Each structure stands twice: as C-alpha cells, then as structure tokens.
C-alpha cells in the first residue's frame, strides 16, 4: 500500500510557514485506514442475488477470554481454501431506511488438512441468511459432509463459527455456502461507498479497501495473507454502470432481479492470491487506455476528470514503469491487464490490489494547469510503488503481517528507481534521503521505537496489524534495503531478488527467505562481505534504532553507539545484539572517494582516516548507510570551512547530511547547538534544494520550540538574512518571476525561497504574494499563479489576510474540480491567524460534506501546526476524542498522525500534565493504533522540556549575535 500520510512539497511548504517542520519529520509516511463506524446490522431488505429468503438475527456472543479456538485471533491450521465463487450486488441508492447495502452469496471450497469438527471463517459486520436454521450450508466435494450442530458470529475475533456434528476428514474437500447482507457504509474499509458531485448530481461509487483485515467485511473468507486462493467474482450492478475487479471482464448480461433491470458482469478467475489484494468496484467512470506488449493499461476516473485529460500523465508513465520492473525483476508482468482507478474517498495513498490498483485522486490525476511538479512527482512515485508490489507482495507474499516491513519497505525503496526511469531528469533517487532516511531517523531515535521485524505471536489483533503501517516499516525498511543493495551491488541484489520471486511465485515467505537468495547470489558473484547477508542484516532488522558513528581524525579511531535523541531516556527493549551494528562505511578524503570500510565491532582504528593539516574526512557518502556521523571538533571545523569556501567539494546529498546530522547530534547533546546552527551560515551562498530543505526541516524544530518565546524575533531576522540571497537568485533566473526554473529540484527550491522569505517578513516577497492573490480574488475564473507556487502563495496570503481571504479560499476549495488544487486550498485554510476562523475550520473536520473523512485528521494536524491553532486543535481533539475514535476506528493509523501532530509543539510542564491526563481520561475509550504515539508524545515532550532548559539562552544569544549590526 502506498504511503497514506504523504507530505507533498506543497504541504511541506505550508508546514514551514506554520512552523511545523518537525511534524513533517516525525509524522509517519504511512498508510491510513479509516475503519468501521459503530456496528450497524442491516437486514436483507427483501433484495438478494437469488430467490427471496429470510434473514436470521444471528446469536452474538459476549467476548470473554478463553482458550477456545474462536477466541483466538489467528485461524487454526486445519483448513486451506482452494477457490471462492463470490457474487455481490451493491446498491448505489439507499433503501427505504436511508441505508446503502450490498447483498452477496459466497461459496468457498477448502481442503481439510487436519481433522476437525470446527469451521472458523472470518466475518465482520455481515448478516446472514439462514439455511435450515444455520448461518451457512456445508457440502462435500465427494462423499458426505457432517451436519451443522450450531453456528454463530464471534464479534470480538471476527469469526463466523460453525460447529459440526462430526469431523471433517483429512484430505477431503468441502464447500461452504453463505448468503449475507452488509452495509455499503462510508467508512473507507471493506466494501464501502464513495460519493461525489458531478454536474450538479450526486454520484455513488461502490469500492473496496481490504488491507489488512477488511475483506471479511465484504464476504466470509479465510482472511490471512497465507490463505491464498483463486477468486471467481460476479458483480451485479445498475444499468449504465461499469463493474471492475482483479480479473478481466469476460462478459456482461442484462437480467431482471427482484423486479429490477440490472447488469451481471463476470470476471476471469484471479491468480492464486491473498484476500487483502481483492478489489471490486461499481461506478459510472470512464477510462483511457493503451496496450503495451499484450498488457492492457487502463486509467479510470470520474467522467469530467478523464474528459479534462487528468488521467493522461498516469497512462504515459505506467507503461514505462511496468516495463522497468519486468527488467528489474527479470520476470514478466503476470496479468493481462493493469487497471488504475482514482477514488474521491480513499484513506491510503494507494492500494496494490492485483490488477486493479486504487488511488486517492491526488495520487493519480494530473492537470498541468493546476498540479505542481511535486504533485507530478507524487503520481509517478506512487504508481511506481504500487506496480512494484505486483511482484513483490502480490506474486510473492509475506506469510504474516509481522514481516510487513519487507513488503512496504521494498516498494518504498524501488519506487524511486521506477520513478527515476520514467522521469530521468528529476534525479528523484536522491530524494529518498530527505523523504525517508532523515524522516524515519526522527522516529527511530526514540527509546519507544520498535524493530523492523516483530515476533509473529506479538501481532494478532487487527489494530496491532494496522499499527505496523508506520514510518519504521515503510521508510526504515526502504533505507536498510537501499543500504543492502548498495553493498551487494545492484546487479547482485537483483539476481537474488529474481531467484526469490521465481522460487516462491504464488506462495508465501518469511523475510529470511530473501536473505537466503541474496546470500546465494553474493557467493556466486564473489562479493566480499565481513559476514553473511543474514548476520549483517539481522543486526538492522531485529533491533530498533541505529548507531551514530564517530570518527576521530586525530587518531583514526572509529566507534559506534546507539543514537537516542534524548540520551537520558531508558531503553527497555532488549536487543539480541546489544545495540551494536555491522556498519558499511563509504567515505571520502579531501573530496576523493576512498576504499570502503566496515565497522564490525563497537570500535576500531582505521589508520587511513587520520588527518593532518587542512585534510578533511567525510563519512557515509550519499547517505547510503543507515546511521548518523559525528567527528572530532577539528574535522567539524574543516568541514564548516569547506562548506563556506568550496561547498561543491562535498556532494550535495552530504551537504544536506551535514546539516541534518549536526542538528540531531546537538539535540542528543553530542555536539553543541551552536555548532549545529553554524552549519546554516553558508546557506546564504547555497542554491541547491537538498541542503536548504534539510536546514528548513531542522530549523522547524526551532520554530516549534520558540515561536511562543522571545527567541522568535531574532531567529526570524537571521533566517530572513540567510534566505534573501536565495530569493534574489530565483527572482533573477525567472526574469522577475515570469519564468519557471528548468530543473526539478530548482523548482522545489524556488518554493522554499518564496515561502521562507515571505514567512520571515521580507516585504518584497509579501507584496508579491498579495499582488498575485488579489489578482485572483478580483477575477476568480482566472488564476495565473504558477501551480508550483500555489501552496506557498495561498498559505501566505491567507496568513496575512483576514476573513475575506479565508472565505475566498474556502469558496475556491468547495468548487475545486481537481483534488490536488483542493488539497492546496485545504492546507492554506489552516494558515489563518484568526482563532475564530480556525475554530470554525475545526468544526468542519467533523462534517464530511465539507472535509472528506479521508482528510479529517490531516486537516486537524495542519491547524495544530499553526501556532495560533495549536491550543485550539488540542482542545478540540480532547473534547471530541471519543467521537473521533468511534467514527474513524481504532485500527486507523491516522490516529498516530493525529496524536503526533497535535502534541509536537509541547514543551512545558503544563502541557506534559495535560497529555498525561488525556491518556488517563481516555483509557476506557482507548487509542487503538495510536497507543504507541501517546507514549512517544510523552517521551518527546519530556525531551523538548530538557532541550529548552539547556539551549534557549544559547540559541537566543547566537541569533542575536548573528543579526546585530556590526560597526
């Protein structure tokens, strides 16, 4: 699944303006799910796919702890599914009670591999039609099947339980038949509905989101990744609508059912696959398509979006990316089609359903008149991420969710490779350092972090599974796999990868299976390593955190230590390796790359790293290693001098690294905060994007800590001084803002220049923004603001303006016809400095007719990012926690984002006590997948308090000294 809480360049700019950067840093790039509403039990309503039937109210048990199989969250290993026949009929109009429902029939054929008198099959929020007094019927493929003794729904563990009068026979195949009704709710999970307005008419889409545990909301199934089967899907749908599923449509007939004229679409059987990859959609969408090497590629979206050409860019890049991965994996795409569809309501970034990938509209639709270059990059990257899963994740699937990190981490790494192939001029591969490595460092440096791989027995409940969709799984997974590919070489990495995919096609694995194949490839190609792939990588996978590697160039001594943002925090999680790692070290001396080294123990001596005179050493070239680097004071001074006098001698990625490492080493009290601030002095001469972005990300922590204190003024004055030359640079190369910079990264840094110049009070910038926005307000049908600049222009204009600017932005948001433009405006609305408008905006987050459910929590976080909105958002979340939790479901990862977002600025004893009280007050309600985020918020608040006590005066003095007028 794609990264759900995506921080676009535009939102990142808004974050800078609001003083949020550390929010963008710590907030997981993870996937969000909005789960079920409070349980609703629709009955059959007299409309089924077959003859009229009656619906029984099934007995519901009260969950009590026991050792009974139905009270365990994992399926017993006695039954293995072979195939399903599924017929579903979603109603796109409400029934006489105003409820949207779907009805269905399912037949699953399974084999008994261990004698049992019990059938457990997952089911959640489905009502069943009785067969002879039971919730299902059972037949044997050959011979007699035991009769059913009793059947019931076990709601806590989400099972349909069928107790038999005799044992199922080992080796025999059986068929379980059910008829059921469910609610086609707007809860973004399972089989759900999405609504939108088109040409003044309300439209409804029936669509799905199964991962991780919501296929059971659509039909009864063995809903675990290892329970692969073939699925035969039939969809019944209204005349004039289109039905889609994983397989290609094989035919559509017109029929009459329950006095209704409907269409019945049948699909090719799927490949053998996991339930979480299923998809079925009914809509009146249209598509554009092309065929490449016998693979049909189709882009589906709202009619107006396709007519406006918004699907063309996705169609253009899908073919090249698909062909890239065929070469990369040395494996043909295994399906006859690749459908991609943009949905108005979708809580993740995208979902890799095999053959029918679902996306948020912002992740698939592009319009050159409205979309920025960051929107374009997001589309290419997410398409690449999802297509990577077609092999890694879909063809070969991890056995259980505890190894989710390998599935998502791998796709998060190779998405950069696929996007780079589609858009080679962007240099997008470099951005993994900012977007994944640096951001996950912030989470993984906490004592409350967790290892990449969890024990299988520790991940049982749906909420526990959802909690794994976090920055560690995605971004740390990507970072360590990039490191592995680098020290193996990409050629050897892909040889092992191809062997792994061929061996386990249509099957399931554990992460060490990949290590086996990579080790075999390494040995066959004579790649020298200090240990086996298993031994090296298990140090990075089985223990949390990462090291800081310290280089003493006076002695050549190199050592490592577990890096913690708060050095006084207590690590309670034991490590099998005592928090030591086997560290690959790529380095340079005086700008020339040297022979790579390995740090295999806590410390070692590398004679070649000794320096004398003006010689300098730089370690972790291009940040391919997952670790931070510190130096002796003398080498730091030399590096600062190189930055100031000859910055290009240091690769651009490492200029960004030096800034990021220095600020974080300072927070961990390893170097002084003043030394970290000194890494920003050279920026007045820097024009490259990555170092500037790294500095702004880190200075945003200073905004969070100081935007309510006397440090704020001198800090603003310093940053205004530093950014003014960059602002003037872009004014010059764009011919006074009339042209667009040529380079992809230059376009990004132009946004930084305007954003920072305006937010630090450069009058020329503020006048420019006001002029552009006022021109648009005076002629709303003609917006001449360049799409790349809209996020920063909108936010600064709303921040500097009053109710008129805010109301105008709200009106444009409501009328926006492309999701990326709506997102820019939604973010800008959080920039106002008027508390009453922010309170009004907070209320809108609970009204899905204004703010879609998929955007509610991120909107609250944007408001909290605004220093004026911080306390308002915190009060709002506390007052509405029970309602929000009930509406969005305890399994939704958006809770982690929400809790992190509204508490990021906390740095006082009063706020700490409020946070602890919030934890106590809502203990009965719970925090679901946000449970760990509450603990991290408390840990982070304590660390912020200590940091302020130790650094506030030093920081104030430094900013004052740097901005005082010299005589």
Active site (catalytic) residues: 386
Burial class of 706 by CB neighbour count within 10 A (0 to 12, 13 to 18, 19+): buried
Q: Tell me how far apart the alpha carbons of residues 830 and 901 are, in angstroms, rounded to a whole number.
A: 13
Do 258 and 243 contact (CB within 8 A), yes or no?
no
Tokens of 879: 């007052």
The helix-helix angle for 712-733 and 931-963 (nearest 10°) equals 80
CB 211, CB 351: distance < 8 Å: yes
Other Cβ atoms less than 10 A from the Cβ of 672: the count is 16
Burial of 736 (0-12, 13-18, 19+ CB in 10 A): exposed
For residue 212, is the peptide bond before it cis, meaning its omega torsion is within 30 degrees of 0?
A: yes
How does DSSP assign 616-641, residue by residue? -EEESGGG-SSSEEEE-HHHHHHHHH
Sign of CA dihedral 764, 769, 770, 774: positive
Greatest Cα pair distance, the chain, in angstroms, is 101
**Bridge partners, 360 (sequence order):** 343
Q: Is the distance from CB of 758 to CB of 720 less than 8 angstroms?
A: no
Rounded distance between C-alpha atoms, residue 393 and residue 501, angstroms: 10
Strand partners, 243: 282
Rounded to an integer, what distance in angstroms lies between the CA atom of residue 686 and that of residue 413? Answer: 28
Full DSSP string of 852-917: -HHHHHHHHHHHHHSTTTHHHHHHHHHHHHHHHHHHH-TT-THHHHHHHHHHTT--SHHHHHHHHH
Sign of CA dihedral 108, 109, 114, 116: positive
Assess contact for 231 and 355: CB atoms under 8 A: no
Closest CA to 959 of 754, 720, 765: 720
Q: What is residue 126's three-state secondary structure?
A: strand
Residue with tokens 């508490």: 903
Q: Is 110 exposed, middle or buried (0-12, 13-18, 19+ CB in 10 A)?
A: buried
Angle at 686 between CA 717 and CA 375, to 5 degrees: 90
* Nearest CA-CA partner of 870 in 835, 828, 819, 825: 835
Kindly state the helix (H) or strand (E) to which residue 665 belongs, with its residue range: helix 652-667
**Cα dist. 657→70, 481, 487, 576, 846 in Å?**
51, 19, 20, 29, 40
Give CA separation, 147 vs 2, 90, 119, 132, 162, in Å.
45, 32, 12, 11, 10
Dihedral sign for Cα 537, 5, 308, 782, please: negative
In contact, 938 and 660? CB cutoff 8 Å: no
Q: Give CA–CA dist 670/666, Å, rounded.
A: 6
Length of the chain as a residue count: 967
Beta bridge partners of 160: 121, 153
Residue-wise DSSP of 687-739 = --HHHHHHHHHHHHHHHHHHTTSTTHHHHHHHHHHHHHHHHHHHHHHTTTTTS
Q: Cα–Cα distances in Å, from 881 out to 361, 821, 895?
A: 28, 30, 10
């Amino acid at each position: 699944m794609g990264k759900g809480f995506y921080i676009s360049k535009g939102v990142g700019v808004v974050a800078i303006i609001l003083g949020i950067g550390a929010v963008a840093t710590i907030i997981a790039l993870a996937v969000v799910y909005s789960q079920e509403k409070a349980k609703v039990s629709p009955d059959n309503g007299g409309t089924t796919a077959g003859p009229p039937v009656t619906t029984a109210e099934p007995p519901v048990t009260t969950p009590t702890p026991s050792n009974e199989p139905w009270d365990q969250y994992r399926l017993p290993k006695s039954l293995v599914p072979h195939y399903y026949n599924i017929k579903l009929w979603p109603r796109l109009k409400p029934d006489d009670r105003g409820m949207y429902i779907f009805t269905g029939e399912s037949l699953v054929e399974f084999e008994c591999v261990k004698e049992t008198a019990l059938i457990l099959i997952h089911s959640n929020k489905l009502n069943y039609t009785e067969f002879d007094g039971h919730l299902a019927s059972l037949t044997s493929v050959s011979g007699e099947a035991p009769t059913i003794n009793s059947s019931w729904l076990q709601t806590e563990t989400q099972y349909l339980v069928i107790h038999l009068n005799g044992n199922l026979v080992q080796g025999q195949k059986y068929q379980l038949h059910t008829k059921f009704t469910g609610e086609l709710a707007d809860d973004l999970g399972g089989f759900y509905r999405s609504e939108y307005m088109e040409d003044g008419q309300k439209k409804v889409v029936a669509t799905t989101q199964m991962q991780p545990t919501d296929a059971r909301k659509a039909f009864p199934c063995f809903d675990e990744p290892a329970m692969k089967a073939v699925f035969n899907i039939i969809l019944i749908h209204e005349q004039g609508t289109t039905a889609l599923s994983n397989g290609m449509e094989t035919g559509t007939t017109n029929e009459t059912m329950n006095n209704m004229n409907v269409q019945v679409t049948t699909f090719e059987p799927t490949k053998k696959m996991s339930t979480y990859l299923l998809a079925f959609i009914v809509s009146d969408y249209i598509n554009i398509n092309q065929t490449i090497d016998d693979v049909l590629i189709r882009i589906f979206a709202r009619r107006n979006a396709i007519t406006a050409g918004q699907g063309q860019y996705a169609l253009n890049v899908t073919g090249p990316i698909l062909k890239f991965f065929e070469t990369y994996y040395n494996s043909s795409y295994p399906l006859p089609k690749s459908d991609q569809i943009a949905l108005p309501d979708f809580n993740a970034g995208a979902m890799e359903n095999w053959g029918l990938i679902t996306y948020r509209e912002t992740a698939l639709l592009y319009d050159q008149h409205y979309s920025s270059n960051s929107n374009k990059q997001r589309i290419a990257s997410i398409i690449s991420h999802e297509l990577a899963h077609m092999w890694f994740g879909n063809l070969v699937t991890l056995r259980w969710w505890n190894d989710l990190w390998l599935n998502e981490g791998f796709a998060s790494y190779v998405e950069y490779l696929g996007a780079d192939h589609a858009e080679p001029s962007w240099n997008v591969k470099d951005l993994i350092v900012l977007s994944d490595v640096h951001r996950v460092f912030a989470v993984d440096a906490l004592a409350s972090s967790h290892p990449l791989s969890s024990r299988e027995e520790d991940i049982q409940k749906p909420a526990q599974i959802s909690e794994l969709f976090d920055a560690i799984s995605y971004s740390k997974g990507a970072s360590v796999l990039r490191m592995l590919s680098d020290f193996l070489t990409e050629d050897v990495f892909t040889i092992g990868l191809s062997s792994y995919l061929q061996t386990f096609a249509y099957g399931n694995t554990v992460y060490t299976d990949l290590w086996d194949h990579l080790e075999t490839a390494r040995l066959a190609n004579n790649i020298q390593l200090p240990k086996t792939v298993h031994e090296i990588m298990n140090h990075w996978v089985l223990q949390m955190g990462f090291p800081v590697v310290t280089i003493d160039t006076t002695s050549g001594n190199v050592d490592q230590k577990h890096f913690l943002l708060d050095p006084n925090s207590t690590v309670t999680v034991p490590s099998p390796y005592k928090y030591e790692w086997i560290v690959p070290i790529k380095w340079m001396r005086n700008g020339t790359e040297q022979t790579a080294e390995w740090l295999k123990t806590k410390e070692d001596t590398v004679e070649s790293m000794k320096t004398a005179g003006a010689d300098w050493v730089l370690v972790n070239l291009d940040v391919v290693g997952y670790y931070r680097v510190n130096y002796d004071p003398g080498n730091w001074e030399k590096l600062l001098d190189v930055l100031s006098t000859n910055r290009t001698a240091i690769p651009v990625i490492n200029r960004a690294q030096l800034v990021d490492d220095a600020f974080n080493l300072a927070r961990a009290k390893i170097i002084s905060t003043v030394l970290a601030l000194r890494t920003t002095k050279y920026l007045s001469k820097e024009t490259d994007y990555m170092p500037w972005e790294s500095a702004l990300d880190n200075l945003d922590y200073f905004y969070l800590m100081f935007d309510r204190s006397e440090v704020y003024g001198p800090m603003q004055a310093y940053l205004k001084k530093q950014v003014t030359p960059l602002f003037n640079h872009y004014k010059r190369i764009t011919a006074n803002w009339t042209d667009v910079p040529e380079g992809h990264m230059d376009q990004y840094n132009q946004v930084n220049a305007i954003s920072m110049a305006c937010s630090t009070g450069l009058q020329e910038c503020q006048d420019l923004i006001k002029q552009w926005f006022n021109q648009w307000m005076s002629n709303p049908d003609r917006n001449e603001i360049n799409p790349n600049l809209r996020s920063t222009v909108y936010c600064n204009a709303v921040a500097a303006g009053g109710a008129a600017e805010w109301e105008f932005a709200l009106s444009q948001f409501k009328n926006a016809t492309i999701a990326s433009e709506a997102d820019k405006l939604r973010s800008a609305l959080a920039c106002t400095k008027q508390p009453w408008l922010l309170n009004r905006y907070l209320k809108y987050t609970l009204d899905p007719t204004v703010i879609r459910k998929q955007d509610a929590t991120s909107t609250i976080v944007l408001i909290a990012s605004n220093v004026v909105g911080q306390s308002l958002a915190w009060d709002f979340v506390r007052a509405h926690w029970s309602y929000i939790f009930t509406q969005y479901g305890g399994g939704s990862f958006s809770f982690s984002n929400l809790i992190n977002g509204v508490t990021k600025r906390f740095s006082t004893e009063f706020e700490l006590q409020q946070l602890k009280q919030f934890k106590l007050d809502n203990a009965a309600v719970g925090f679901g997948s946000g449970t760990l985020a509450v603990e991290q918020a408390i840990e982070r608040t304590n660390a912020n308090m200590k940091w302020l006590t130790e650094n506030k005066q030093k920081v104030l003095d430094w900013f004052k000294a740097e901005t005082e007028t010299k005589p």
